Amino acid sequence: MLTLASDFGTPYPAAMRGVITRRTDATVTDVAHDLPRQAPRTAAFWLRFVLPEFPPAVHCVVVDPGVGTDRAALVVRAGDHALVGPDNGVLLPPARALATASDASLELFTVTVDDPASATFHGRDVFAPTAAAVHETGVDRLETRDDLTPTDDYEELTLPEPSVDRADGAVAAATGEVLAVDDFGNAITNLPGDLADGRVGEPLRVETPEETTAAPLTRTFASVAPGDPLVTVGSHGYLECDVNQGRGDERFGLGVGDEVTVRWSEG
């Protein structure tokens, strides 16, 4: 199985799919082609969330603001999975999640690329053919490919860590940032969901540089009336700032990268 993910919108991904289906009979699945534009960190968040759900596959990932520069093309092996994409860090958070899931360590390879047909669409000219070739070779036989060279020189990308303020053991406040806003408008933070353990139902204050919003910590959207704000643990395991049947990003005044503090209210 091959998966495709990009920020290309439409119809560029179809060209990648054509290139791949010319080279392999493997099933090709789109993960998403409307990942946030040219934002490797947000894309990495989403791919870390989604790719571990898949069976062993070759994942072709193209979020590549540096296309056409001398940034390298990478293949990353993570257990039974391989990821193919640009060397800008976007592959690493999902690759680490895949490796952890299969108790493997990461192995990285740079791709020797013949002069590509274009300087602006390496999805078609570099990454898709490489992904197809890696699939045909087999993820466990990457060493047999002449165009792949093991490397430990690559762009790192890690998602930010939050700071947690514990007073007498109980968490009083935690400060982090918004990793992503989903299509529902849920503002997903990097604050770990276990902050909510045993505290569902408590009132919170959510502070941004611009405003402060009172919202309860709930288990579900429907725990508050439609249109009301809430904080809950999202399916990715992080706290998210939401509105039941509305947009949390607008209500809380939050966008990707914004700092956010969740404070347990005094009452």
Q: What is the DSSP string of 230-259?
A: EEEE-TTSEEEEEETTB-HHHHHT--TT-E
Residue 164 found at the interface with its own copies (CB under 8 A): no
Cα(137)–Cα(144) distance, rounded to whole angstroms? 8
Q: Are 84 and 61 in contact (CB under 8 A)?
A: yes
Based on the number of CB atoms within 10 Å of its own CB, is 84 exposed (0-12), middle (13-18) or buried (19 or more)?
buried
Binding-residue pattern over the window 13 to 52 for its own copies, x denoting contact by CB under 8 A: -xxxxxx-xx----xxxxxx-xx-xx-------x--xxxx
Beta carbon of residue 144, minimum distance to its own copies (angstroms, whole number) = 25
Using CB under 8 A, pick the residue from 85, 176, 234, 248 that binds its own copies.
234
Amino acid found at 221: F
CA distance readout (Å), 181 to 57, 184, 190, 251: 27, 8, 12, 13
Using CB under 8 A, pick the residue from 121, 127, 238, 252 that binds its own copies.
121
Beta carbon of residue 12, minimum distance to its own copies (angstroms, whole number) = 7
Between CA 105 and CA 112, with CA 110 as vertex, the angle to 5 degrees is: 150
> What number of chain residues touch its own copies (CB under 8 A)?
59
Using CB under 8 A, pick the residue from 102, 117, 158, 172 that binds its own copies.
117
Which chain residues interact with its own copies by CB under 8 A?
1, 3, 5, 8-12, 14-19, 21-22, 27-32, 34-35, 37-38, 46, 49-55, 65-69, 117-121, 124-125, 182-184, 219-223, 232-235, 245
